[in-house]
Structure 1
Amino acid sequence: MFLASHRRLRAEVLIVLGLSLGQSAVYSVVQLLDKMTRAPLSEATSTLNRSQSSREYFDLTYQLLDIVFALVPVVLVFYFLSSHSPLNREDAGGSAFDRLGFNFARPGRDMLQGLALAAAIGIPSLGLYAVGRALGVTTAIVPSGLDAYWWTVPVLILSAMRHAIVEEVIVVAYLLDRFGKFGWSTAVAIVVSAVLRGSYHLYQGFGPFIGNMVMGLVFAWIYTKTKRVMPLVIAHALLDIVAFVGFSLFGKAMGLG
């Protein structure tokens, strides 16, 4: 029974990752190899939030559909973590949202922690990006390739929130829960989570891989201490909002696009 439970648990994790960030990691490695075999990484560009149609409202539709469907694996995670799942009967005392700290139980404290984390991670990340570009191991990163429509900024904010929820809920809260059930030590679970985070950013080059891996180590360690994913979601969302919206509004004017 114990072995059967572990097999189901491993299958569950593979399904979640295959539908979400594990799939992204595989594509990221292939994209990195594609870029490296075309030209030096310093000459390559990685564009986030790409336009998907030259027709304004079709582009908007595609953007919103991408955001909605990207959140489906998160819904699946909460289902798997709920007491309805036979693998979680022992956790029937509370909801999956409460167990992961993905709720609004302490909004003020979560916001302050999120702001502090965003500042602590964001400022060194800029320096690491500059070093990576100087060394030729990081591509030029364009945070937004969307045209300037009335809906561009709201969609970029939603995109930032999507990335924050998907990454922090799945790569930190969910995986650390499942790795613990595998019997892994906390240190091993944190490192594997962080390496996965870095790997799906490899398409941007080796600098972002290292930077995101360090971010993953910090975020996962904090989660093991607080058991709340909400401050991590807030911090991640703030970082992406500043990058996406800031570039969209000022990037071209500053000669960055």
Structure 2
Amino acid sequence: MTARDVWQGWLHPVPPEAAPLEGRERRLLRTELVVVFAVTLGLSAVRSLVSLLDALASPLPLDQRRVAIDETLARDPWADLAAQLASSLSLVAWGALGLYLLVRAGAGPRAVGLDGRRPGRDALGAVGLAALIGIPGLALYLAARALGLNTTVIPSLLSDQWWTVPALIVSACANAWAEEVLVVGYLLHGLRRLGVGENRALAISAVLRGSYHLYQGFGGGLGNLLMGLVFGRVWQRTGRLWPLVGAHALLDVVAFVGSALLRGVLPFLPA
């Protein structure tokens, strides 16, 4: 196989053979996709867009605004811990909903690569993807801030408690689970059943991922759109979802925990 063949295969992957749904089943799946995302990440995208528009209407420049991903939710430390865990549980439930609907449709975890057949290769893939996305992503964030196209993103503003780091790790894993199961496994599998082309489906998934990060600014939206293109294509080519969940979790753990422990120490982390 030549390099050109590999490139063509990457740009134009051949989906597994499956007859697209017709009639009532097709309409039901379309409705299901709309409803699921209307109460999960699609709604987050609308809120994120509203947040960006509000920021642009403000006299304060975008690059002088700050947004936090994880922040204190209650005054009492124990109440805050409970609120943090409840927030993470909500994300876990979102991902579980997508997986449940796949099972109901006759697909199941194996169909989207959430089985345990190859844990070693999945783990190595997660580390490789995290490195591929993490370093350029940080560079893009810093460039967007320098150009005034992004807010200052503070991954964590949690108070210093004994449970802070474990709670941030749980939050990172919950985010990774919800996003990758819904935006890649559930959505791309559903679009494939509707007969949507692989490239068009990839674009839909990536735009959705970028849109619910627009609260961070244009850089955050663009960076996550590019991440969505890479992650979605990896899934379309390999059929494995665990490497994406693992890579996303690693990226968020480094960002959340690093922000909590090194804030004010590294120059690109705001104090």
**Is the shorter-chain TM-score for this pair beyond 0.5, marking a shared fold?**
yes
Residues 1:76 and 2:97 aligned together: yes
Match of 2:44 in 1: 24
5+ unaligned residues in a row in structure 1: which ranges? none
Cα pair 2:98 2:186 within 8 Å, conserved: yes
Match of 1:162 in 2: 174
2:96, 2:266 → 1: CA distance?
39
Match of 1:181 in 2: 193
Residues 1:247 and 2:259 aligned together: yes
1:192, 1:11 → 2: CA distance?
16
* Offset at residue 54 of structure 1 (A): 1.5
* Offset at residue 4 of structure 1 (A): 1.5
> Which residue identity does 2:193 align to in structure 1?
K
Match of 1:197 in 2: 209
Cα pair 1:19 1:73 within 8 Å, conserved: no
Match of 1:208 in 2: 220
* Offset at residue 69 of structure 1 (A): 1.7
Match of 1:47 in 2: 68
* Offset at residue 242 of structure 1 (A): 0.3
1:34, 1:196 → 2: CA distance?
20
* Offset at residue 111 of structure 1 (A): 0.9
State the Cα deviation string for residues 30-54 of structure 1 (Å, max 9, x = none): 0001111112211111101110112
Aligned-residue Cα RMSD (Å) equals 1.3
Number of equivalent positions? 248
Q: Matched residue of 1:48: which SS?
A: strand
State the Cα deviation string for residues 215-238 of structure 1 (Å, max 9, x = none): 100100010111010000000000
1:70, 1:225 → 2: CA distance?
26
Residues 1:13 and 2:25 aligned together: no
Within 5 Å, which residues of 2 pair with 1:94-105?
96-105=108-117
Q: TM-score, normalised by structure 1?
A: 0.93
Q: Matched residue of 1:143: which SS?
A: strand
Match of 1:142 in 2: 154
Match of 2:129 in 1: 117
2:136, 2:204 → 1: CA distance?
22
State the Cα deviation string for residues 144-200 of structure 1 (Å, max 9, x = none): 010010000000000000110111111011111111112110000001100000000
Cα pair 1:153 1:245 within 8 Å, conserved: yes
Between stretches 145-154 and 244-253, larger displacement belongs to 244-253
> Which residue identity does 1:3 align to in structure 2?
G
5+ unaligned residues in a row in structure 2: which ranges? 1-20
1:105, 1:232 → 2: CA distance?
16
Cα pair 2:91 2:177 within 8 Å, conserved: no
Q: Matched residue of 2:172: which SS?
A: helix
* Offset at residue 3 of structure 1 (A): 2.1
